Structure 1
Amino acid sequence: MTTVAIALIGVLALAGCGGLHEKGGESASPTPTRTAPAPTPTPTPTVDPIAGMTLAQKVGQLFMAGTAATAADPALVADVERGELGGIFLHGRSSAGVQATATVVAAFTSRLPAGSPRLWVATDQEGGDVQVLSGPGFDRIPTALTQAQQGAQLRASATDWGRELAAAGVNVNLAPVADIVTSPQTAPSNSPIGAMSRQYGYSESAVAAGAGAFAAGMRAAGVLPTFKHFPGLGHVGPNTDTSSGVTDTVVGPTSPDVDVYRGLTAAGPSLVMVSTAIYQRIDPSAPAAFSPAVLSLLRTQVGFDGVVITDDLSAAAQVQAWSPGDRAVLAIAAGVDIVLVSSNPSVLPAMVQAVTAKAQADPGFAQVVDAAARRVVEAKAATR
């Protein structure tokens, strides 16, 4: 082979493996353009809603205290002014009407420090025998059993009742009742519910429809509803407000009385009130409001992640065997978020002191307090 042929073969070999192209020849392919990776977004820092709050302020969010519906309690006004009370409850009866009630409420809300979580102002506006507010601007609300007869119209009626509350400054209604009474025949012997026709019916579906419509109307009016009294007071005889040792022997973890809360609470924002009865088939050792087993049932099986409030822990006969301080500590330790001190607010200081002292001495309990305060403050912000 000649020298020229060998040289030609070498040139062709270089061309085939890209050697000429690498030198920038005209036939070279353009270098692929690399796309720079998209920058990773900087996560928005999560602001803890209770950051910057003192222990006294956090503990204050865990209480709702009663004031007469006709007058502002000066001691409670002072608590609000310090940012150390999260809610008030208008108790008793008032026939003064919307404007007079709004004046009572303003005595509290006007004193709330700037930047504080909003004040929850609650009352019992169920209807029938349980209607705190009446007079000019307030409709007379029928019993739950009568409300249920309205069918599809009930939501609109409840919206009107909710607007009346909102006009008076009330933003939480401790209603509707979600208790299931066994039958019309047993209702008269069921003192807390059936005897006053507070039930929406005698089956899970009837109660779900009636209580659900009432709650939807409240939400439409800007008022937060409260389903009560978990896990049910439809099968007991005595009333926990006036009797001690009240025990339910019927309701268990899979009862309709428990199951009804799943759909009700999934439909929109609400509170759930825990009763003070003892439930033999769930936890025979303590009233529901003091029972981690009952609270766990609500959180895990029902799936409720909102704010849990107790029934009244101030004057109810059912809880008088415990000191006021122990009542509050036991409820919060069990998983309750708000202790209701509605009928006798004079025990509030002892309750607050006990919870504060426990949080100072027990880091685990302090974390429970933080979690409850955080849940309350977040719920207030979400439903403003």
Structure 2
Amino acid sequence: MKTRIATAVLAAALLTACARDPQPASLPPAPSATSTATSTAVAEPCASVITRMSERERLAQLLVVGVDPADPDAAVRLVREQQVGGVFIGGNATALLRNNALDAVQHAARWGVSIAVDEEGGRVQRIDELDGTLPSARTMARTKTVDQVRAAGRERGAQLRARGVTVDFAPSLDVSSQPDDGPIGDRSFSSDPAVVRAYGLAFAAGLRDAGITPVFKHFPGHGHAEGDSHAGQVTTPALASLRTVDLVPYQDVAGFDGGAVMVGHLTVPGLTDGVPASLSPAAYRLLREDYHFTGPVLTDDLGAMKAITGTYRLPDAVLHALLAGADQALWSSGGNVSAVLDRLQQAVDSGELPATRVTDALGRILPAKHACG
């Protein structure tokens, strides 16, 4: 998530989501599932949980869908009727974050539901009107020690947890010297990758201390990219350059127990062959094989960024992401769940989306939200 979304903008997105979604003139071919990340064996009791799900319920667990923060009843209906694996709360409205409203959302889920916000601090906050403001990442790194940032993450995590949130799409591990108001800007802890690594992992550890799952983003690195994925294609420096700077903070992510990674819509010369990393098998292999990350991986927003929507219909973008190696596909605009599930079910029935790819993703998603007992 790149900006703090105003409530009016989110409402407009929810109303127009189904009208948007044009058929592209020429849909790029889907990646082959055989070239994605290595498979994870599903151990008991998760294997037993998976066998009790219908095929459509399994597919729904691979989705994280935006909900209107001003409409708790709609969020409950979505989870009860579709059994999605996760919901995302954006915007500035706070009805879903007050008066234990998220308890009803959680109770509507047969296997639990991850409830996410993007609480980074600075210009990307969701509970500032309720629990006070959090400084931007850049400000925290400039004014606090690493230990103090961990404490700040722990305090913010406790506030989120008390409101029913379980996942925070933070911290940003992007390495950037952009002006504060740039696409990444002050959302980055520093232009020094060592500082980003130290402070990013500290903030994530604080969230984890409080029982919140942190999500490191935007792999493989947005800080030196040209463009904004909200507006169109974004291109990073070549992979060889990313390895020396932007990917440095990810060297320790494999050893961080209890986190997830978000893959950005970043075209990487020498890696993604002209497609966004979020839809590229090579990007997921890089994360799994070179950086040895074994936890859950999800996409950046597939429904509100022109880097994706300019080429792909939402159902096809979700399918491409799952085939490439994502465990969960995210879109913030809400709606379209039935259309996406129909497309995924069609892909399973035809063999385009192997059942083993679905099970592989479930083997990471379900334990992460403690859905297996």
Q: How many residues align?
A: 325
SS in 2 for 1:279: coil
Residue of structure 1 in register with 2:56 after alignment: 56
Q: Is the 8 A contact 2:263 2:277 kept in 1?
A: yes
1:317, distance to aligned residue in structure 2 (A):
1.0
Deviations, residues 304-325 of structure 1 (Å, cap 9, x unaligned): 0110010000111111111111
SS in 1 for 2:301: coil
The structure whose RCO (Cα within 8 Å, separation 6+) is larger is 2
2:161 maps to amino acid:
A
Residue of structure 2 in register with 1:247 after alignment: 235
1:125 and 2:119 matched: yes
Residue of structure 2 in register with 1:335 after alignment: 325
1:140 and 2:133 matched: yes
SS in 2 for 1:257: coil
1:256 and 2:245 matched: yes
Residue of structure 1 in register with 2:211 after alignment: 222
Percent identity, aligned pairs only? 31
Structure 2 unaligned residues grouped into runs of 5+:
1-42
Residue of 193, 197, 208 corresponding to 2:197: 208
Residue of structure 1 in register with 2:172 after alignment: 177
Q: 1:190 to 1:336 in 2, by over 3 A?
A: farther
Whole-Å separation in 1 of the counterparts to 2:361 and 2:300:
17
1:54, distance to aligned residue in structure 2 (A):
0.8
Whole-Å separation in 1 of the counterparts to 2:361 and 2:218:
20
Whole-Å separation in 2 of the counterparts to 1:87 and 1:97:
15
1:60 maps to amino acid:
A
1:339, distance to aligned residue in structure 2 (A):
0.5
Whole-Å separation in 1 of the counterparts to 2:248 and 2:155:
29
SS in 2 for 1:245: coil
Q: 1:348 to 1:314 in 2, by over 3 A?
A: farther
Residue of structure 2 in register with 1:188 after alignment: 179
1:361-380 superposed matches below 5 A: 361-362=350-351, 365-380=354-369
Is the radius of gyration larger for structure 1 or structure 2? 1
Whole-Å separation in 1 of the counterparts to 2:305 and 2:362:
25
Residue of 105, 108, 129 corresponding to 2:105: 108
Q: Is the 8 A contact 1:191 1:237 kept in 2?
A: no
Residue of structure 1 in register with 2:268 after alignment: 279
2:164 maps to amino acid:
G
Whole-Å separation in 2 of the counterparts to 1:305 and 1:135:
36
SS in 2 for 1:346: coil
Q: Is the 8 A contact 2:120 2:136 kept in 1?
A: yes
1:191 maps to amino acid:
G
Which segment drifts farther, 77-86 or 122-131? 77-86
Q: 1:95 to 1:109 in 2, by over 3 A?
A: closer
Give the TM-score normalised by structure 2.
0.82
Q: Is the 8 A contact 1:94 1:133 kept in 2?
A: no
Whole-Å separation in 1 of the counterparts to 2:236 and 2:157:
32
2:236 maps to amino acid:
D
Residue of structure 1 in register with 2:88 after alignment: 89
Residue of structure 2 in register with 1:77 after alignment: 76
Which segment drifts farther, 261-270 or 51-60? 261-270
Whole-Å separation in 2 of the counterparts to 1:133 and 1:97:
11
Q: 1:366 to 1:55 in 2, by over 3 A?
A: same
RMSD between aligned residues: 2.2
Residue of structure 2 in register with 1:15 after alignment: none
1:166 maps to amino acid:
R
Q: 1:299 to 1:221 in 2, by over 3 A?
A: same
Residue of structure 1 in register with 2:342 after alignment: 353
1:363, distance to aligned residue in structure 2 (A):
6.8
Q: Is the 8 A contact 1:314 1:347 kept in 2?
A: no
Structure 1 unaligned residues grouped into runs of 5+:
1-44
